[in-house]
């Protein structure tokens, strides 16, 4: 999976790409890729040899410290959920108010 707003997305890595090499190091398994990337210097370009649609291509990724970015993504997600909750509460209250006003009018007409 390629996460939004990450170095992998910036490098145009795609979901079905098969990573063959990272920085000249052969990748046989997913944990090889993770180990190499985790050990790469932050901010220094890293060359990826990738198999895409049966063709080898070269991509360049710039590893970065994602701790701050992940924190920001979590905060943005939390804010979005709070905003959605506020919106739903407002819609519910407006619906209750409309129903109450409707019933009050019906009672006044009797």
- Per-residue pLDDT tens, the chain, 110 aa: give them: 788 888 889 899 999 999 999 999 999 998 998 889 888 888 889 999 999 999 999 999 998 877 777 788 888 889 999 999 999 999 999 999 999 999 988 888 87
**61, two tokens:** 């990724």
Count how many residues are written for the chain: 110
Burial group, residue 20, by CB count within 10 angstroms (0-12, 13-18, 19+): middle
The pLDDT of residue 93 is: 94
Burial group, residue 27, by CB count within 10 angstroms (0-12, 13-18, 19+): buried
């Amino acid at each position: 999976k390629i996460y939004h707003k990450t170095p992998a997305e910036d490098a145009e890595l795609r979901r079905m790409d098969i990573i063959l090499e990272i920085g000249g190091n052969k990748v046989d398994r997913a944990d090889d890729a993770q180990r190499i990337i985790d050990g790469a210097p932050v901010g220094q370009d890293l060359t990826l040899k990738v198999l895409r649609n049966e063709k080898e291509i070269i991509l360049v990724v710039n590893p970065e410290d994602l701790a701050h970015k992940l924190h920001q993504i979590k905060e943005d997600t939390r804010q979005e959920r709070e905003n959605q909750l506020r919106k739903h509460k407002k819609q519910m209250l407006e619906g209750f108010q409309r129903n109450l006003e409707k019933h009050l009018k019906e009672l006044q007409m009797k």
